[in-house]
A and B are shown apart, each in its own frame.
Chain A
Amino acid sequence: MSAQGLDQDFLDDFAPRWWTAWNERDAETIAAMVTDDLVYHNAAVGKDLIGREAMFDYAAMLGQAFPDGRFSTSEPPYASLTQPKAIVPWHFVGTHTGDFVPMGFKATGGVLEVGGVDHWWFRDGLICRHKANFDFAQAMRSLSTTARAR
Chain B
Amino acid sequence: MTAAGLDQDFLEAFAERWWSAWNSHDGEAVAALCTDDIVNSGPALGRDIQGREAIVGYVDVFTQAFPDMRFAIPEPPYGSLTRPKAIVPWHFGATHDGDFMPMGLPASGARVEVDGVDHWWFRDRLVCRRTMVYDFAQVLSAMTGRA
Closest beta carbon of chain B to A65's beta carbon, Å: 18
Q: Contacts A78-B87, A81-B8; is A117 near B117 (CB within 8 Å)? A: yes
Any B CB within 8 A of the CB of A16: no
Q: Is the CB of A134 within 8 A of B80?
A: no
Any B CB within 8 A of the CB of A8: yes
Q: Considering the chains assembled together, what is the distance between the CA atoms of A137 and B103 in angstroms? A: 14
What is the chain B residue whose CB lies nearest that of A12?
B81
Looking at chain B's contact residues, the main secondary structure is mixed
Q: Contacts A117-B117, A133-B115; is A75 near B80 (CB within 8 Å)? A: yes
Residues of B within 8 A of A136 (CB): 135-138
Any A CB within 8 A of the CB of B140: yes
Closest beta carbon of chain B to A2's beta carbon, Å: 13
Closest beta carbon of chain B to A11's beta carbon, Å: 11
What is the chain A residue whose CB lies nearest that of B131?
A115
**Segment of A24-32, A53-61, A82-90, A122-130 engaged in the interface with chain B:** A82-90
**Interface size in chain B (residues, C-beta < 8 A):** 24
Q: Is the CB of B78 within 8 A of A43?
A: no
A-B contact pairs, 22 of them (CB 8 A): A43-B135, A43-B137, A75-B85, A78-B87, A80-B75, A80-B78, A81-B76, A87-B78, A87-B87, A87-B89, A87-B117, A115-B133, A116-B133, A119-B89, A133-B117, A133-B133, A133-B134, A135-B135, A135-B137, A137-B136, A138-B136, A140-B137
**Which of B's residues lie within 8 Å of A, judged by CB?**
8, 43, 75-76, 78-83, 85, 87, 89, 115-117, 119, 133-138, 140
Query: What is the size category of the interface that chain A forms with chain B?
Result: 20 to 34
Residues A94-115 near B (CB distance < 8 A): 115
Q: Considering the chains assembled together, what is the distance between the CA atoms of A83 and B75 in angstroms? A: 9
Besides A89-B87, A134-B133, A135-B133, 10 other A-B contacts (C-beta < 8 A) = A78-B78, A78-B80, A80-B75, A82-B76, A83-B75, A133-B116, A136-B135, A136-B138, A137-B140, A140-B137
Q: Is the CB of B82 within 8 A of A75?
A: yes
Q: Considering the chains assembled together, what is the distance between the CA atoms of A8 and B81 in angstroms? A: 10
Residues of B within 8 A of A133 (CB): 115-117, 133-135
Residues of A within 8 A of B80 (CB): 75-76, 78
Q: Is the CB of A76 within 8 A of B81?
A: yes
Closest beta carbon of chain A to B74's beta carbon, Å: 10
Residues of B within 8 A of A138 (CB): 43, 136
Q: Considering the chains assembled together, what is the distance between the CA atoms of A85 and B81 in angstroms? A: 16
Q: Considering the chains assembled together, what is the distance between the CA atoms of A136 and B141 in angstroms? A: 12
Q: Considering the chains assembled together, what is the distance between the CA atoms of A140 and B147 in angstroms? A: 14
What is the chain A residue whose CB lies nearest that of B8?
A81
